[in-house]
Structure 1
Amino acid sequence: MAESAEPLSGFFARHKTAFNDIEQLQQAAVALHKSNVCVWCVLRFLGFELGSVYQQQTDIAAKLKLSNTNDSPCVACLGILNYDLADQVVSKYREQQFDATDVVIGIELPKSVVVRHRSMQLYCSSNKIPVLSDMVDIKDAIKYMISQQLSRQCDIHVVGESGMRIDLVFIHSESSSECQFLVKQDISRNRRNANGDSRTTIVNELAACSDEKFLASFTSPPPAISTAAWLETIAFKRASLFVGGRYLKLERNVSQTPFIIDGRRVTEFSVSEIIGEPLKLLTRCDSYNLVGSGREDADVRMLGDGRPFYLECINPRTTQLEQQQIHDIEHNLKQTNSPVQVRQLQLIKPEDTKVIKEGEENKTKHYCALVWFANQLSEEKLEEINKMGQKEIVLQQKTPIRVLHRRAPLTRPKKILSLKVVHIRGRFYKASIESEAGTYIKEFVHGDLGRTVPSLAQMANETADIFELDVEKVSLDFPPS
């Protein structure tokens, strides 16, 4: 027998409610409906569990003898449960083309909903309509409504935890002031720590408010409304996708991230864009963020086996990737002779990114610098410098003048772990330097007007400057093998 033709007694027997008597159930349903409560909310207040019954409102309304004369929006849910919400969400989701298999739904309702729920509870109590303590919440009803459509049309399942999230925000200006009596109550009791009209404040004050005090400030049932709440925001948020590797910068005048001053680009290329744009196309993410294990200046090359980095793809539509697709990006950069190359490019887990930050204090770096001295060094002076360089040299390094605009003016102790200077010709020398992370090598060479002590210039007792600098090695085990 089709459910629409099923007698109410049979239907009633198959569905759990707050009632033991069919006639009482019908009377309660009619009373609620006459108070401008929609069929969805009638079912909620009668204690029906979420299920197929909520998808057959026309048949249920007929069984419960509910008229279709309610023209104004529902006073309990503000009309939220009575328009094509699920269709809107499904349509927007399809436009975005995420490849997720499950989602979490987050819902923000107008604050007046909790006040109106209390009002409805009091109305039910005064009309001897039993209300279950575990009655279906409006948010759960919304999630059920959407989950049925997402499952049917997109093969997406709504779950409790997922890397994919749909956030819905509803607003209703007509009832926005209905919580003010609770806010004033909170302020009068906690003048020094008033929380304003936060949802937590309203819920707490509502719980502390007696029925008598509530009814002195608000009607029961809730007052009718002329406009329904509307969906202000549908936001789709996906957990970030992380890609790790090591990059080489084979040319100078390439910054790690876009270098822009006063709206104008200083460098034509950046490492993050050269690596990030192909990954953005592949993952269809909103944006990306490159995090390196330190950074070299734009005029410094990164050679050797590269600098460890990871790139965060923010809100990616596509996450089900094959390693070959990632490898193709690495291969294409090589084939096009890009100034930035990548090695060991791979998908990594979010927890793997900790290595970059945790290794910041422990890693060491190897540099090769082309150094100029005002006068050619004697063999004795060169030998003296190299002998000093065989031992650890502790620097007192003030924040360099060139970065004072963005870093605090502090003195930081830094270590040169090894130093070897070799004469090339004339007044030019090659300096091989190993240092701990965070050491400013350019300033170590020329002294930064005495702000780095000792400096190579001071050790040589000559004016010195650095013409070219390359990073040859960053000692950090990343990415994971």
Structure 2
Amino acid sequence: MTSVVDAAIAECLSSPDSKYETIEQIKDAASALHQTHACSLCILRFLQIPFGPVYQDQDTPLYEQLGLSEQSAEPCPVCLGILSHDVARQIAEKYTSQDFDAQQVTLGIEVPKSIYVRHRSMQIFCSANTMTQVHNVVDVKDTLKYLVAQQLANHNVAVVAECDTQIDIAFAHAETARDCQFLADQTNMANSRVAIVAKLTACSDAEFTAHFASPPPLVTTRALVTVSTKRASIFVGGRYLKLERNISQTPFIVEGRRVTEHSVSEIIGNPIQQLTKCDSYNMVGSGREDADVRMLGDGRPFYIECINPRRTRTLDEDICNIERTLSTTNSPVQARRLQVIRAQDTAIIKEGEENKTKHYCALVWFAHELSQEKLAEINDLGKHEIVLEQKTPVRVLHRRAPLTRPRKLLALAIEHIEGRFYRVRIESEAGTYIKEFVHGDLGRTVPSLAGLADSPADIFELDVECVSLDFPPPAI
């Protein structure tokens, strides 16, 4: 172990930026730092020894080589106990216990603002004791990143500069919370980290020591750490079929009570959540049908955003198994083309809102039986584009602005079934309220099928048979 310390000292002495010329100078500086009750890692930092194996050693070899007595168990007054192999191990174990399958992570570290005050205090102390300014002290955050990276490497996890998974490490230290108060009292600047550092940079040594001790005063408690992990969302896209009525697209809850027992998002989303081990998920459909409307044909395009997923690797086969399970268990909700998609592919859903068309099949009742002439008249009209003026339906006025929206019917066909029941097929642009087109919504949709037929009408059943949006893209 001693050779590791020797190598670090030799590297320090050979550096062109080193302020030391002999090992005795290093030992003298280390002794002065040791008297401040700084921990071994802070001693290394302020000696400006670069990262290497010496930072991974336990304390004893460093103290022995530099002729120092072992430090007491009191928290370091410089780093507040943050720079500790035990703390780094605790952070790594916290991450691995969360069961993320990420093999690369970034680290986001937040330290108490008092760290910056105490760092400046130590710089002044070093300058006063070595007669040399200390400019290249190893940063406390960089040191912690180095320690945590070594611990994570034991779990085959690499720390990188940028990736989709970040471990957020936040320290708090109530005992030193007022260390920065003298800076806040001097100016009206915000008490943010950037502002604190700016104030410390602008503050002379004399101004600083008039308000804060150098070296920094001892502390009795260690900084408390909280660790959390956040990962970029992954997206699962596909098309869903709803084979039964009274199923909403997302949970339908009014005043704390469920209106529908099941929802499309839960039937498909829950197994995806179990698979990806995500915190939560959001379902986004290319429009939505009412709970009492079936979604048939090739289904409605949708995607599910899995928020903070723990598992993102090798999902394809398991995603396909979810689709197969829904099919083989005769679920009222089926999925088609279910697959992991890229985040940018979700834009197709939004972009398609303006361009997609939908095909509907409706079972309609009229108050009066329609003549063959009237049916022919409606069918002839339906061969051409029909422009509707639709005011916001009465049933959604509580959540939609009261506007008049032009909507196009691209095709309309009607056939008699029996009695006063008729089958009506409609192709429309997105955003058309089909139920209101059928009955007229108290004259708020013009023209309406009831108006074209000269008979009151109501819709008994409605199915969506096609949503003409190519999603997920076949190339995915």
What band does the TM-score fall into relative to the shorter chain? Answer: over 0.9
Q: Could you say if the C-alpha distance between residues 380 and 173 of structure 1 is closer, same or farther in structure 2, counting changes exceeding 3 Å?
A: same
1:201 — aligned with what? Answer: 195
Distance of 2:469 and 2:41 partners within structure 1: 59
What is residue 66 of structure 2 aligned with on the other side?
64
CA displacement at 1:355 relative to structure 2: 1.0
Return closer, same or farther for 1:216/1:396 CA change in 2, 3 Å cut-off. farther
Structure 2 counterpart SS, 1:391:
coil
Paired residue for 1:343?
Answer: 336
Distance 1:131 1:409, change over 3 A: farther
Deviation at 1:130, TM superposition (A): 4.2
Q: Secondary structure at the match of 2:465?
A: strand
Unaligned runs of 5+ residues in structure 1 are 188-193
* Residue 158 in structure 1 maps to residue 159 in structure 2: yes
Q: Which residue of 1 aligns with 2:213?
A: 219
Paired with 2:373 and 2:216, the residues of 1 have a C-alpha distance of 95
Q: Structure 2 matches for 1:30-49, cutoff 5 A?
A: 30-49=31-50
Q: Deviations over 1:124-177 (max 9, x none)?
A: 22223646544321111111111111112x111111112222111110111112
Cα distance in 1 for partners of 2:3, 2:162 equals 39
Distance 1:185 1:382, change over 3 A: farther
Tell me how far apart the structure 1 counterparts of residues 131 and 247 of structure 2 sit (CA, whole Å): 73
Assess, with a 3 A threshold, how the Cα gap between structure 1 residues 415 and 202 changes in structure 2: closer, same or farther. farther
Q: Which amino acid aligns with 2:43?
A: V
Distance 2:396 2:4 in 1: 79
Give yes or no for contact 2:361–2:462 (8 Å, CA) kept in 1: yes
SS class of match (1:29):
helix
Q: Judge conservation of contact 2:5–2:54 (CA < 8 Å) in 1.
A: no
Count of aligned positions: 469
CA RMSD after TM alignment: 2.1
Name the SS for the 1:354 alignment partner: helix
With 333-342 and 159-168 compared, the bigger mean Cα shift is at 159-168
Contact 2:8 2:49 in 1 (8 A): no
Corresponding residue number in structure 1 for 2:233? 240
Q: Which residue of the partner structure matches residue 382 of structure 1?
A: 375
Distance between the aligned counterparts of 1:181 and 1:454, measured in 2? 74
Q: Which amino acid aligns with 1:441?
A: I
- Could you say if the C-alpha distance between residues 366 and 5 of structure 1 is closer, same or farther in structure 2, counting changes exceeding 3 Å? closer
Which among 252, 273, 277 is matched to residue 266 of structure 2? 273
Q: In structure 2, how many angstroms separate the alpha carbons of the residues matched to 1:412 and 1:198? A: 49
Is the 2:8–2:54 Cα contact (8 Å) retained in structure 1? no
The one-letter code matched in structure 2 to 1:170 is F
Is 2:384 the partner of 1:391? yes
Structure 2 counterparts to residues 209-358 of structure 1, below 5 A: 209-231=203-225, 233-358=226-351
Deviation at 1:322, TM superposition (A): 4.7
Shift of 1:6: 7.5
**Partner amino acid, structure 2, of 1:36:** H
The match for 1:4 is: 2
C-alpha distance in structure 2 between counterparts of 1:7 and 1:422, whole Å: 92
SS at match of 1:285: coil
Is the alpha carbon distance of 1:186 and 1:374 closer, same or farther for their aligned partners in structure 2, counting shifts above 3 Å? Answer: farther
- How far the C-alpha of 1:116 sits from its partner, in A, is 1.7
CA distance in 2, matches of 1:438, 1:134: 63
How far 1:301 moved relative to its partner? 0.4
Q: Please give the alpha-carbon distance, in whole angstroms, between the structure 2 residues aligned to 1:41 and 1:390.
A: 82
Identity %: 60
Any conservation in 1 of the 2:5–2:61 contact (CA below 8 Å)? no
Q: Distance in 2 between matches of 1:308 and 1:220?
A: 65
Contact 2:440–2:446 (8 Å) recurs in 1:
yes
134, 139, 142: which one aligns with 2:141: 139
Residue 454 of structure 1 and its aligned partner are, at CA, apart by 2.5
- From 10, 15, 21, give the equivalent of 1:13: 10
Task: Give yes or no for contact 1:183–1:201 (8 Å, CA) kept in 2.
Answer: no
- 2:461 maps to 468
Which residue identity does 1:225 align to in structure 2? V
The whole-number CA distance in structure 2 between the counterparts of 1:7 and 1:216 is: 37
SS at match of 2:350: helix
Separation (CA, whole Å) in 2 of partners of 1:462 and 1:167? 66
How much does 1:375 deviate? 1.6
Q: Distance in 1 between matches of 2:211 and 2:87?
A: 32
Q: Which residue of 2 aligns with 1:191?
A: none
Task: Indicate conservation of the 8 Å contact 1:81/1:142, yes or no.
Answer: yes
- Structure 2 residue runs of 5 or longer lacking an equivalent are none
**Matches of 1:134 and 1:244, distance apart in 2:** 51
Change (3 A) 1:468 1:124: same
The 1:408/1:217 distance shift into structure 2, 3 A limit, reads farther
Residues 438 and 448, structure 2, Cα contact 8 Å, conserved in 1: yes
**Of 320-329 and 254-263, the range deviating more from structure 2:** 320-329
Which of residues 85, 88, 92 in structure 2 aligns to 1:86?
Answer: 88
Distance 1:13 1:290, change over 3 A: same
How far apart are the structure 1 equivalents of 2:199 and 2:377? Answer: 77
> In the alignment, residue 435 of structure 2 is paired with which amino acid?
K
In 2, the alpha carbon distance for the partners of 1:455 and 1:4 equals: 91
How has the CA–CA distance of structure 1 residues 218 and 396 changed in structure 2, closer, same or farther, with 3 Å as cutoff?
farther
The Cα of 1:83 is off from its aligned counterpart by: 5.7
SS of corresponding position for 1:80: coil
Indicate if the aligned counterparts of 2:249 and 2:288 stay in contact, CA closer than 8 A. Answer: yes
